[in-house]
Amino acid sequence: MANPLRAEVVRLYKNLLYLGREYPKGGDYFRDRLRAAFIKNKSVQDPERVKELIARGEFVARELEALYYLRKYRAMKKRYYEE
Amino acid sequence: MSGRVLVGVKRVIDYAVKIRVKPDNSGVVTDGVKHSMNPFCEIAVEEAVKLKEKKLIKEVVAVSCGPQQAQETIRTALAMGADRGIHVEVSGKDYETLGPLHVSKILAALAKKEEAQLVILGKQAIDDDCNQTGQMTAALLDWPQGTFASEVSLEGDKIKVVREIDGGLETIKINTPAVLTADLRLNTPRYATLPNIMKAKKKKIANVKPADLGVELTSRLEVLRVDEPPQRLAGIKVETVGDLVSKLKETGKI
């Protein structure tokens, strides 16, 4: 793996691992799938392709943040605001 | 306005956790239960950080009252963008009886000490649902208050606050310094991501005792009993409209 990109990939992995701890189906469920996804692309060498995959990973991170926010917002709205 | 904003954050049981009452009905089970920052406090921190990013204020100070673990909540606030933290150490029996009046006295003392221009709090905590701390803090400081804020804009040395009230939205203009309490729709709090948490480790958290601020923690309230809400009884299914009518007559509803 190209050296500067390797650091980015590791950073992405750690970030996703941290975010995935609160996954609704369980942190373990998320972690297993995260590892599987990264291992599947282990041998990719082309820097362009690697950058594409990193971008996809970052997209997943944003999706997780949105998921967590919506869950919390909806729970608060239901509890405190009468429809 | 180029001042300092004090943000109060509270460590509460995570909103998604199923609450259980202790067998002796003296309180709620908190040992080993997941805790996190009160959702309304997250919104308060986000608003303060937004003001700093717009360069309308200079420094965001996160304050929390509680035992050692309260520092985790302050760290989350620092990861969201607060500049430094103040941990007011309250533990054991004092922490169990800590209420809005004590916290507002502490916050008022800190606001004066830190020469804050603005104090932003969440409108209420999801554990005690008091909705009192912001109001009491404003009264103790004799500052105006913008509570249930769903929109805040700084206009010179005044603040325009749009408040969510039962009848709709109320817009008020108040002087600074002031106390604001954040409502659900004020903003969308950012997530404290891992890189930000790492960066936040370098930020300072000062340690203070309530006695240093001249605040007495004796409580005038005593919790007598804590019970679970009554269980919702299962509904009864009926086959025909006639059945429904007779069942309603039976239970005296019609």
> Which residue of chain B comes nearest to A63, CA vs CA?
B191
Tell me the three state secondary structure of residue A83: coil
Contact B184 A18 (CB under 8 A): no
Residue B89, pLDDT > 70, answer: yes
> For residues B200 and B182, what is the distance between their CA atoms, to the nearest angstrom?
24
Residue B164, pLDDT > 90, answer: yes
Does B189 contact chain A (CB < 8 Å)?
A: yes
Pairing status of strand B205-208 against strand B158-165: unpaired
Q: Could you report the per-residue pLDDT of B220-231, keeping only the tens digit for each? A: 999 999 999 888
Q: State residue B253's pLDDT score.
A: 77
Residue B28 gets which letter from DSSP?
B
Q: State residue B1's pLDDT score.
A: 55
Average pLDDT over residues B210-220: 93
Q: How confident is the model at residue A1 (pLDDT cuts 50, 70, 90)?
A: very low
Tell me the three state secondary structure of residue B88: strand
Q: State residue B2's pLDDT score.
A: 65
Tell me the three state secondary structure of residue A46: coil
Contact A65 B191 (CB under 8 A): yes
Q: Could you report the per-residue pLDDT of B136-156, keeping only the tens digit for each? A: 999 999 999 999 999 999 998
Contact B193 A72 (CB under 8 A): no
For chain A, what is the largest distance between any 2 Cα atoms, rounded to a whole number of angstroms?
Answer: 55
Pairing status of strand B11-13 against strand B35-37: antiparallel
**Within the 6-65 window of chain A, which residues sit less than 8 Å (CB to CB) from chain B?**
11, 14-15, 18-19, 61, 65
Average pLDDT over residues A33-50: 91
Q: Could you report the per-residue pLDDT of A57-66, keeping only the tens digit for each? A: 999 999 999 9
Average pLDDT over residues B67-93: 96
The string of DSSP letters for B161-203 reads EEEEETTEEEEEEEESSEEEEE-TTS--PPP--HHHHHHHTTS
For chain B, what is the largest distance between any 2 Cα atoms, rounded to a whole number of angstroms?
Answer: 72
pTM: 0.90
Least CB–CB distance from B194: residue in A14, A76, A79: A14
Contact A76 B189 (CB under 8 A): no
Helix, strand, coil tally for chain B in percent (to 5): 30, 25, 45
| Percentage of residues of chain B with pLDDT beyond 70 | 99
Exposed e or buried b per residue across B16-50, where buried means at least 16 C-beta atoms within 10 angstroms of its C-beta: eeeeeeeeeeeeeeeeeeebbbbbbbbbbbbbbbb
In sequence order, the 6+-apart residues with CB closer than 8 A to the CB of B28 are: B13, B19, B20, B21, B22, B127, B226
Q: How confident is the model at residue B63 (pLDDT cuts 50, 70, 90)?
A: very high
Q: Which of the residue ranges A48-57, B15-24, B51-60, B238-247 would you say has the lowest mean pLDDT?
A: B238-247
Contact B188 A81 (CB under 8 A): no
> Which residue of chain A comes nearest to B14, CA vs CA?
A72
* Complex ipTM: 0.87
